[in-house]
């Protein structure tokens, strides 16, 4: 049975899906999605007119969304469970926190990418030769605007960082005062996987393959300075579980 994951390599949502599949030893082939150019293929694979990545095609099954893929990996894979049965409400709450963080982070990234032609050139598909990437940077800007419309990215990014992202980070910090994991004493769970990957919007983890200008575009230096303890926690989770 073939299993293929469609995703964006720099996307925290894709990282969540890959992490869950890897944790459970669920082998898969990875296909890099190209915004705009790959939309027709993605919709065909998803069997719907509205599709997004990450998207997992597992034989006859189609699973869309990082959390749905994590649940699927739990069902078909092996290894330590990530979804404690008595923690459904708490897990749902942390997934919501992660989604809200990434919504702000995506807006931050889009704004920064549109201001950096160098980062736009880095965002072009890998099959485009280096010598012409700069000239084609406007194509990447077009794809960025397409994604902004597709995902209804908010315009006032600074307000979202102050009013949404920072309070969510304070909530995570408070929860971790009770133990090393968010569902303490349950141990490592999908809640930690979701939040650790979501901290990409503050500063990407060192293992994330990004061009230097793209990494700079993702990074929010002021937030990273104020929440360095959470980044240290994230790095420790990666060392132990990724």
- Mapping DSSP to helix (H, G, I), strand (E, B) and coil, where does residue 79 land? coil
CA distance 134 to 120: 8
- What are residue 57's DSSP bridge partners? 4, 62
Tens digit of pLDDT at every position of the chain (242 positions): 589 999 999 999 999 999 999 999 999 999 999 887 888 999 999 999 889 999 999 999 999 999 999 999 999 999 999 999 899 999 999 999 999 999 999 999 988 888 788 887 777 666 655 555 555 556 666 666 766 677 677 778 999 999 999 999 999 999 999 999 999 888 999 999 999 999 999 999 999 999 999 999 999 999 999 999 999 999 999 999 99
State the sign of the Cα–Cα–Cα–Cα dihedral 120, 145, 69, 39: negative
Terminal-residue alpha carbon distance, the chain: 25
**Alpha carbon 102 to chain centroid distance?**
7
Q: Phi and psi dihedrals of 129, rounded to 5?
A: -60, 145
Do residue 44 and residue 97 come from a single domain? no
Do residue 93 and residue 70 come from a single domain? no
**Residue finishing a domain among 52, 76, 100:** 76
Count of domains observed in the chain:
2
The CATH number covering residue 17 comes to 3.40.30.10
Do residue 121 and residue 183 come from a single domain? yes
Enclosing domain of residue 92: 85-241
Do residue 57 and residue 116 come from a single domain? no
CA distance 21 to 241: 13
Do residue 59 and residue 175 come from a single domain? no
- Mapping DSSP to helix (H, G, I), strand (E, B) and coil, where does residue 212 land? helix
């Amino acid at each position: 049975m073939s299993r293929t994951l469609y995703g964006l390599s720099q996307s925290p949502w894709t990282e969540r899906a890959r992490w869950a599949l890897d944790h459970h030893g669920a082998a898969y082939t990875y296909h890099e999605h190209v915004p705009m150019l790959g939309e027709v293929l993605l919709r065909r694979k998803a069997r719907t007119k509205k599709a997004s990545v990450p998207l997992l095609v597992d034989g006859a099954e189609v699973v869309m969304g990082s959390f749905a893929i994590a649940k699927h990996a739990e069902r078909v894979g092996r290894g330590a469970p990530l979804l404690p049965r008595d923690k459904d409400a708490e897990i749902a709450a942390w997934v919501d926190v992660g989604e809200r963080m990434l919504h702000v982070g995506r807006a931050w990234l889009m704004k920064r990418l549109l201001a950096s032609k160098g980062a736009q050139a880095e965002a072009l598909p890998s099959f485009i030769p280096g010598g012409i990437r700069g000239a084609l940077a406007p194509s990447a800007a077009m794809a960025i605007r397409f994604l902004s419309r597709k995902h209804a990215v908010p315009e006032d990014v600074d307000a979202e960082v102050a009013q949404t992202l920072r309070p969510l980070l304070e909530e995570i910090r408070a929860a971790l005062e009770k133990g090393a994991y968010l569902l303490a004493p349950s141990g490592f769970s999908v809640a930690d996987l979701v939040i650790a990957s979501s901290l990409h919007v503050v500063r990407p983890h060192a293992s994330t393959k990004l061009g230097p200008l793209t990494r700079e575009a993702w990074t929010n230096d002021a937030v990273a300075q104020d929440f360095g303890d959470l980044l240290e926690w994230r790095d420790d989770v990666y060392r132990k579980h990724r």
